[in-house]
Every structure is written in C-alpha cells, then in structure tokens.
Amino acid sequence: QVQLVQSGAEVKKPGASVKVSCKASGYTITDSYVHWVRQAPGQGLEWMGWLSPKSGSTKSAQKFQGRVTMTGDTSISTAYMELSGLTSDDTAVYYCARSRAFDYWGQGTLITVSS
C-alpha cells in the first residue's frame, strides 16, 4: 500500500533552516509529483510547492520563493523540503502529499520556531 513517512518533529531558532524528509513506499516515487503543504496551528491548508522526483524540477508558491528548496533522492525513494530563514510564523505542521490529486499524505512533521 502507498505510504509516505515523514521525519520527526523539530524545534528551531529564528533564522535557522529546517529540512523535512518524506519517504515513499508502495509505489515508484518517480511516477508522481510530491507536493508540500503546511498547516499553522488552528489554521487551514497552505500549498508550498511541488517536486518532480523524476526530473528534479520544482515549482513553489510565490510566498516561499527564495526560501524553500525541494529535492529528491530516487535511490531511497525520498523527497525533501528545506525551508530557510525561519520565523515564528513558520511554526506549523508540514505535510508531503502525492500527485495532482494529493491522494496520499504523510503523517505530518511539526516544526516549532522559538527562541
């Protein structure tokens, strides 16, 4: 069965960077895009960007351009999302999701930004 398993929660200081991983199983990671979505506490869902694991191409929301880097390692079926210049506003649960339909989601990774 398709599964996306994400890395664990992290606490970061303002100005730092964080890298979240998303390991895919049950399908071939190069067959679908991987999207990144975040959810601030008590808020809705915010799309951040997508990665094509096959080509390595990416596209991010304008809001995150210059701050987000999405990469993949097909040899271990894993996608990564790195966000730099963290502020308290980046405190959120970060999700990876598969394909245009966002049909399968990772369990989420809580990133807390606090001094």
Partner 1 sequence: DAVMTQTPLSLSVTPGQPASISCKSSQSLLYSDGKTYLYWYLQKTGQPPHLLIYEVSKRFSGVPDRFSGSGSGTDFTLKISRVEADDVGVYYCMQSMQHPPTFGGGTKVDI
Tracing tokens 């664990």 back to the chain, one arrives at: 8
* Shortest separation between residue 3's beta carbon and partner 1, angstroms: 12
107 contacts 5 by C-beta, under 8 angstroms? yes
Q: Which 8-state DSSP code applies to residue 105?
A: B
Rule CB under 8 A: say whether 31 interacts with partner 1. Answer: no
3-state secondary structure of 94: strand
Binding partner 1 (rule: CB under 8 A), the pick from 59, 73, 76, 85 is 59
Residue span binding partner 1 (CB under 8 A) among the ranges 18-26, 40-48, 65-73, 84-92: 40-48
22, β-bridge pairs = 6, 79
Q: What is the binding site for partner 1 (CB under 8 A)?
A: 35, 44-47, 59, 61-62, 95, 97, 100-108
